[in-house]
Structure 1
Amino acid sequence: MNAQRASFGSAIAGLAPPCLRISAVVLAAGLSARMGGSAKMLLDVGGVPMIRRTAQNVLAFAPTETVIVTGHRAEDVANVLADLPASCIFNRDFAQGQPTSVAAGVRALTQVCDAVMIMLGDQPLVTASDIERLASLYARLELESILVPFYESKRGNPILFASRHIPAVIGGGLNIGCRKLIETRTSDVYRAEMESDVYALDCDTPEDYARLLHRLEKMQ
């Protein structure tokens, strides 16, 4: 597994701050309720399923550990990720919403880390370089312990938070996916204004998917 992880990171070696250990949790459990009957994690994005492209980008950043949380169509999602150096865990409570998947993924982490990154599975345009920019900003924080990216005032993802928050996230005392996080944890949260809109893009509807494919064509 370590050898595989190294191969994914080789093209972007040295991106992560050298002394900062970041573990990644990728959320891929949702019902895709607004996608018109399609399981969005399995939709084709540049020749590969969406969740696989997202996972490959995360792995290229070379996190300390990567956990992918499944739920809806769990077996199919796990199958398209089977050869990647990441752990797939099933959230039996996935239908109750994203916070349960965040807690399940964080609970499944086994390696010591300094920070945890929560990545959405429908963010295939967020590259390892984009993640590195967030990690570099996080590494320079002095007072805040939660970093949330924004683009033109729109809240984005992934979110990074200090490992000391792990017990609160697992216990439900800190909802990292909650939009009220900024208001309730003012002293802990750093709003990172980013130059790229990829952090604020998601893929919930067929229209979103069409825009994603159009954007991908322009990038290639």
Structure 2
Amino acid sequence: MKIGILAAGLSKRMGNINKLLIDVGGKTILEHSVINALSYSNDITVITGYERERSEDILKNYPVKVIYNPQYENGQESSLRCLLSHTQSDIIVTLADVPFLQREDFIKAEINLKDVLAARPIFNGIAGHPVALKKELVELILSSDKRVRDVIKEHPHNFYSGRRESIIDIDDPASLNAIKEHLK
């Protein structure tokens, strides 16, 4: 199954640091996320935006398709729509700043998509990643002016039990420090 990784954000809460380009254990956060996705699929698309050239320079070392979102400053919704506009199949979507996903997380997302249009892990009441979307839902999202999450809520979707790692992302310097310790 295809995987889409959103890696276009401004990292506003990190100050002047692009969190995805921080080296942890010899690889950037972006690389950790790509390598984890590659453990499941060889059909990966990464959406870039902020500091595009630096991200794309790193990504050229991996067998991934790279798409630039020229509207990345409009937020995650614009990057997700950019990704989905290049998708004609079921897809699993994740954020590049969720570096602990493993093959089993992607498998579980695909399995839980069986009878619904969207599937997402939940841990301790918090929705996590990756999010699996059926092709039919992708088409509905792209034909709607509503926010993606609102379109998903209107159609059959499934929250399933996820691992703690599905909700660990980098939002600020404190979460980055915790992730650095874990990835060492």
What is the TM-score normalised by the length of structure 1?
Answer: 0.77
Within the alignment, does 1:29 sit opposite 2:8 as a pair? yes
Q: Which runs of 5+ in 1 are unaligned?
A: 1-21
Report what 1:60 is aligned to: 39
- Which residues of 2 match residues 38-117 of structure 1 at below 5 A? 38-63=17-42, 65-109=43-87, 113=89, 115-117=90-92
Q: What is the CA-CA distance between 1:102 and the residue it aligns to?
A: 0.6
SS at match of 2:176: helix
Count of residue pairs the alignment pairs up: 184
Q: Distance in 1 between matches of 2:72 and 2:169?
A: 19
Q: Cα deviations across residues 140-164 of structure 1 (Å, max 9, x unaligned)?
A: x33x211011001011111001111
Q: Distance in 1 between matches of 2:122 and 2:78?
A: 24
Q: What is the CA-CA distance between 1:204 and the residue it aligns to?
A: 1.3
SS at match of 1:191: strand
Q: What is the CA-CA distance between 1:168 and the residue it aligns to?
A: 2.5
Letter in 2 for 1:150: I
Letter in 2 for 1:67: T
Q: Distance in 1 between matches of 2:39 and 2:144?
A: 30
Q: Cα deviations across residues 46-94 of structure 1 (Å, max 9, x unaligned)?
A: 210111110111112015x211000000010000010211111110111
> What is the RMSD of the two structures over their aligned residues, measured on CA atoms?
1.8
Report what 2:158 is aligned to: 190
Q: Distance in 2 between matches of 1:174 and 1:85?
A: 33
Letter in 2 for 1:72: Y
Report what 1:11 is aligned to: none
- After TM superposition, the runs of 4+ consecutive aligned structure 1 residues lying more than 6 A away are none
SS at match of 2:13: coil
Q: Distance in 2 between matches of 1:118 and 1:82?
A: 20
- Which residues of 2 match residues 90-169 of structure 1 at below 5 A? 90-109=68-87, 113=89, 115-138=90-113, 141-142=114-115, 144-169=116-141
Q: Distance in 2 between matches of 1:120 and 1:174?
A: 21
Select the structure of larger CA radius of gyration.
1
SS at match of 2:59: coil
SS at match of 1:190: strand
Q: Is the 8 A contact 1:149 1:199 kept in 2?
A: yes
Letter in 2 for 1:205: D
Report what 1:207 is aligned to: 174
Sequence identity of aligned pairs in percent? 21
Q: Which runs of 5+ in 2 are unaligned?
A: none
What is the TM-score normalised by the length of structure 2?
Answer: 0.91
